[in-house]
Structure 1
Amino acid sequence: MPVRILDSRDHVLRRKTIPMVKILWKNQDVESATWELESVMRKAYPHLLLPIERLIPFSGFCW
């Protein structure tokens, strides 16, 4: 069971880019975190990858 996302990156191939996320798994230490396909994690654990708008409410421009 994943606990949280530690990092994200794009794996660039010749003709496409694959979004990846580094997952911290339950009962594992940070050194055991693994890179997983974002699309697979989004489908299996949608609560883990909320849209940024839901994480940070937008209330106007910041000055």
Structure 2
Amino acid sequence: MPQGELIEDAARALASRGAPAATAELHLARGLLATPAQPPRAAGHFAAAQHLWQDIDHPY
């Protein structure tokens, strides 16, 4: 299974669970996959992960 599909499967499974740490990690994974081809998109995912971690008082 390609990495992108694995990430999206995890995102669907977590969609209604209210798991901010897991959601932050999904953004991190999406950012890592986007980095080589789409740096601005990657930056958006990294920023979203950072904000989610800050919202739950955990360092990024």
Q: TM-score range by the shorter chain?
A: under 0.3
Structure with the greater alpha carbon radius of gyration: 1
Tell me: higher relative CO, structure 1 or 2? Use CA pairs within 8 A at least 6 residues apart.
2
TM superposition score normalised by structure 1: 0.22
Identify, as 1 or 2, the structure richer in helix: 2
TM superposition score normalised by structure 2: 0.23
Identify, as 1 or 2, the structure richer in strand: 1
